[in-house]
Amino acid sequence: MENIVNIVESQIIASVKSPEHLRLAADSNSNVVFLLTGDLLSTANYLDVLKEARKETFLHIDFIEGLSNSKNALEYIAKAWKPKGIITTRNSLIKYAKEEGLMTIQRIFLIDKNAMNKGIEMAAQYQPDAIEILPGLMPSVIDELTRRTNLPIIAGGLISKEKEILEGLEAGALAISSSDPELWNIDV
């Protein structure tokens, strides 16, 4: 099975939140793209643009309008749309996506220590390929997470400066996801 560590070349992941940024992501130095926009009619086209640009694309299925949170939806995504993988906050969808051969990233919102502990527990149980933590502006928390889990950590959310990217990477994050196109071409 392919390992997410092996597919990340640029440690900046382009998070596309609007169709207007799709072409910028396709033309960026980021080789991994998180697609956080779309619906049942547009998502296949968005994925085609990114595949043509040779981007490894992860579909954030919680944000795609019209998708249900079901095993059938994951089967359709895997067979019809064929992204590299999915991102979700839902444990059951991690399980279903893995059954369909998709890579998985579990998104965890770190609002307090309890949320961090619960996130680690759930990740240990469902074994996603990586964990994305939000907000990503917490080098000490990134460091703690890398010591408490063997899963790769992607930090995202509220990242707006190159300095913040470097701090997250120095703390042990595999990569930093950002929705700011100005950061997608930083060479790290």
> Which of 86, 73, 13 lies closest to 40 in space, CA to CA?
73
Output the CA torsion sign for 177, 182, 183, 188. Answer: positive
Structure tokens at 47: 């994925």
Structure tokens at 53: 């640009």
Evaluate if residue 118 carries a pLDDT over 80.
Answer: yes
Please tell me the distance from the alpha carbon of residue 131 to that of residue 12, in angstroms, as a whole number: 15
Q: What is the pLDDT of residues 4-39, one digit of tens each?
A: 999 999 999 999 999 999 999 999 999 999 999 999
Percent of the chain scoring above 70 in pLDDT:
99
Beta-carbon contacts of residue 161 (< 8 Å; ≥ 6 apart): none
Evaluate if residue 1 carries a pLDDT over 70.
Answer: no
Domains of the chain: 4-183 (3.20.20.70)
What Rg value do the Cα atoms of the chain yield, rounded? 15
Evaluate if residue 108 carries a pLDDT over 70.
Answer: yes
Please tell me the distance from the alpha carbon of residue 2 to that of residue 119, in angstroms, as a whole number: 23
Q: What is the pLDDT of residues 50-73, one digit of tens each?
A: 999 999 999 999 999 999 889 999
